[in-house]
Amino acid sequence: MLLKDLSGKLPSELIESANTRGIKELTPPQEDAVKKGLLDSKNLVIASPTASGKTFIAEIAIIKTVLWERKKAIYIAPMRALVSEKFNEFKALYPYLKIAVSMGELDSMDDWLEQYDIIFISTEKLDSLIRHGINWLSRVGAIIIDELHMLGESGRGPTLEILITRLQRECKEAQKIYLSATVGNAEEMSQWLKSELVFSEYRPVPLQKGIVVESKVFYGEESEALKGSNKIPELRVVEDTLSRDKQILIFYSSKRNTEAGSEKLSKVIKPKLTKEENEYLEDLSKKILNVLSKPTPQCEKLSNVIKSGAAFHHSGLVNTQRSLVEEAFRNGYIKGICSTTTLGVGVNLPANTVLIRDITRFSQSEGASRMNINEATQLLGRAGRPKYDKYGRGLILGKTESEAKDLFNYYVTGELEPINSNLGYMPSLRSHILSFIASGFLSMEDSIISFLSETFYNFTGAGISSLKTIVRDVLDQLESWEFIEQLNTKYTPTKLGKRVSELYIDPVSARWIVKSLPRLTDEVSMLFMICNTSEMRPYTKTTEEAEDLLPKYSDMIEQYEPFGGEFYDIYKPFSTALMFNDWINETGENGIMLKYKETPGSLFSKTNNADWLLYSSIELSRILHIGSAKLLELRVRVKYGIKKELLDLTRLEQVGRVRARLLFNAGIKTVSDLRKEASKQKVERLFGKEIAKKILEQTIS
């Protein structure tokens, strides 16, 4: 089907935009979507491989809704990177439309969103907005939910399932488009979602899937010799990929393995680089090295391998480093990336060849486990770049030829696993049931059960009786914690319970904070309070210092109730608290990394979580009429990683922990000191005239 055949059935602005991108003909899943009611506002589940054109189906629904129906459209995705990527794509394509992105602050109505036509938003953010009572949902005409298969995840899945169920009830007239590349039970999902199913195996770039053993790739009964001479299988694949003038992504099971792998790759790639590539990479390595105020060993390691055209990518990198690596790979300067699954979903970073080196994963809770077919399919689907490649190669590393046959039968010819609900657990439902009551959405036990009967969990036959038991237990618990009150058959939120729901923290965490607030004695106790929560997981490793100091805080521990009653190592959150205590006493990233084995990226993530938990603690303390001045002070110190003496200086823009310390050591200890005549020259000597001017301008009253 040619796009021009839809002239008059689609906004001309969309057709013109598509033509400028070279889109003249619809792909098979796009054509099938049109035949099954895309243009007639029918609900659709689109289950097709990566790069098969799912986003353009969403684009058609969005632009038609906004321009012709004069309604709003929302695009929901579980990962911030994906939300940001899609926002930037649409913003560039339709600069004349009012397009917004919302992913951050979870204690806000974001009233400004009401003025926008298209909103790109994360799952948790939209759930939070609904808890706060947004009033524009009735004006939404199109809802896109990307990465539908995430409903099966234990972490994000329950929130996505509740959100979908609520949108089905509250936005009945809106067209809903559900997108996924890996849904083993797509027919079942489409029935639950009351949607037409568009199922396709079409890929614009054919994908060859095979198993690597030593120097060969086995494609079922056929095999192919890999070019090169390296005896290490993954490096032989790299040699073969480079001989084709292509790029490669290699997926490993751990951060440590990605870093070690990138060092091996760098030795293979370096001799193949041109003079121009070497110059670009030399400059890039310097940028990577100096992202932090003082480079850590991880920064140095990444900087070194980048000089040779390789890189590693995992959650331990800070955002700037990840972005620089991704950009250099897209532009063809970095030839190979060793990654954990951080590049498996969310970020559009395809390569000609993808190799899964580690099919086995290890975790403290589950031990060794093999990657499932859905996850492997997601990773292998990154191979093959439209407009650049005639084919893609998705490879898995095996040990023997007999194992290669088993891996091929399981991962290549095997069927995708079904998506299962994770909603039927008390921890999954506790926060959501509180939000139902706190927002006034549902106020009676029967109405809560009725709503939950509409979920995928109940649709798949889990049974309403188990839901009734869980709901009763949750209501009893929330009432005993004084988060809700019951009058006859109706539940209402207490002031405390409503605020807990708005703050978007686990009621168990809120309960611990409420009980801890009157027992706080010092900075460590405050940090322990926010660290001993589910939101701060995963915790840092246990230290000897934690084992020695924890008994000092026995008064707090006596009233501690483990999450769900499971076995729990309380030394780990306490060690995390001690890490933050070092941070606010100005231990650098390098020192934190050496002592606690926390990467800069992990520290940054934990600092953000700590900021939110401190904010939440301050809000709860106000309701309980407990003084919060010390918590307010601590929040600033955690944000900047500073001692108390630098608080005044960090009020200024351009002044963080490093510059504040330099100013303080130079005798400028407060903002008032900057107004003194002699201070100007000191500041200019420290930071140069341009930065000094920006700092000093803020002191002029």
The per-residue pLDDT for range 622-653, each reduced to its tens digit, is: 999 999 999 999 999 999 999 999 999 999 99
Spatial distance between the Cα atoms of 337 and 349, rounded to a whole number of angstroms: 10
| pLDDT cut 90: percent of the chain above it | 79
CATH 1.10.3380.30 domain residues, the chain: 505-641
Q: What are phi and psi of 49, to 5 degrees?
A: -65, 165
Sign, CA dihedral 363-369-371-375, equals negative
Q: What is the pTM of this model?
A: 0.91
The 3-state secondary structure of 87-101, one letter per residue: HHHHHHHCCCCCEEE
DSSP lists the bridge partners of residue 120 as 75, 101
pLDDT tens track for 337-360: 999 877 766 667 779 999 999 998
Report the top-level CATH class of 3-199. Answer: alpha beta
What's domain 207-412's superfamily in CATH? Answer: P-loop containing nucleotide triphosphate hydrolases (3.40.50.300)
Q: How buried is 636 (Cβ within 10 angstroms: 0-12 exposed, 13-18 middle, 19+ buried)?
A: middle
Q: Is the pLDDT of residue 559 over 80?
A: no
CATH 1.10.150.20 domain residues, the chain: 646-697
Spatial distance between the Cα atoms of 534 and 562, rounded to a whole number of angstroms: 10
Report the top-level CATH class of 646-697. Answer: mainly alpha
Max Cα distance, the chain (Å): 82
Q: How confident is the model at residue 367 (pLDDT cuts 50, 70, 90)?
A: low
The alpha helices in 171-269, defined as continuous H runs, are 186-192, 233-243, 255-269
pLDDT tens track for 94-119: 999 999 999 877 777 788 999 999 99
Domain 505-641 has CATH 1.10.3380.30: yes
CATH 3.40.50.300 domain residues, the chain: 3-199, 207-412
